Structure 1
Amino acid sequence: MSALTGQNKGFDRKLRLLDAAAYKRVFDGAEFKVSHSHLLILARPNDCDHSRLGMVIAKKNVRLAVQRNRIKRLIRESFRHQQADLPGLDIVILARKGIGEQENPNILDLLTRQWRKLLQRSQQNRPLRSP
């Protein structure tokens, strides 16, 4: 079962941004931004047929390691559920102050709304590909 088919909703290596250069490409060339007081999502189209995710959960914004790890787990879980709907994008999620104090259902709800906004923006601005 492939991680891309929806059969297995794992977080395979091919679904992650793995190196500093991949993060830099998103930071330098972000075409889509979705902002909230607790999260910032930056994205740009990639050459893959699937989206890839990177996370920046700074100790400065989320002090405790257990909170940082919890937020990363929630982001990965949310991404796994949304990845079939997202077009081929490289995505970086940055945590902002205050997200560590939020309850899990609130964070998941926030992520769902932010994924929806990202999808809308990427569909509005993406040129139609010819066959």
Structure 2
Amino acid sequence: MAYRFRRVHRLLKTDEFSSVFRLRGARSNLFFQVYAAPNTLGHARLGLVVGKKVAKRAVRRNYIKRTVREWFRLNQAELPACDFVVRARLAFGRDNRNDAVTALSALFAKLARCRASSSS
């Protein structure tokens, strides 16, 4: 398994984000809100939203995005064929990065359980 995060694994266009938001399949916790919508591509794709209300400085916003992308890159093989949009709700830094990654893993696990129960 090549752990890469290529262009085909990203949501890039506004209408791709809009279609995920429209379905309203979301789970949230203190750090993140994750939206999901099934796709027909056979692999998961990721979109990120980190607003200025969450973190004023671009350095902090970029750190949050890098952390989420890294988690996705390492875990994309286990994810279902869905489009995911991760919206940051609370800024975090190096001191509480592990808490944020654990919270993100928990949200994706919840979404996977939901998808499994709704498809059966």
Q: Say yes or no: TM over 0.5.
A: yes
SS in 2 for 1:49: coil
1:118-129 equivalent positions in 2, closer than 5 A: 118-127=111-120
Shift of 1:12: 0.3
Moved over 4 A (4+): none
SS in 1 for 2:84: strand
Checking the alignment, whether the CA contact within 8 Å between 2:27 and 2:110 is kept in structure 1 is: yes
Structure 1: runs of 5+ lacking an equivalent? 1-6
2:47 to 48, 54, 64: 54
Checking the alignment, whether the CA contact within 8 Å between 1:51 and 1:86 is kept in structure 2 is: yes
Shift of 1:68: 0.7
Q: Larger RCO: Structure 1 or Structure 2 (Cα < 8 Å, ≥ 6 residues apart)?
A: 2
SS in 2 for 1:100: coil
- 2:66 equivalent in structure 1: 73
CA distance in 2, matches of 1:85, 1:10: 14
CA distance in 2, matches of 1:29, 1:111: 20
- Identity over aligned residues, as a percent? 34
Letter in 1 for 2:75: Q
- 1:16 equivalent in structure 2: 10
- Structure with more of its chain in helix, by fraction: 2
Checking the alignment, whether the CA contact within 8 Å between 1:45 and 1:89 is kept in structure 2 is: yes
Query: Which is greater in Rg?
Result: 1
CA distance in 2, matches of 1:126, 1:82: 22
Calculate the TM-score normalised by the size of structure 1: 0.84
Structure 2: runs of 5+ lacking an equivalent? none
CA distance in 2, matches of 1:126, 1:51: 17
RMSD: 1.4
SS in 1 for 2:83: strand
1:39 to 27, 32, 35: 32
Shift of 1:99: 2.7
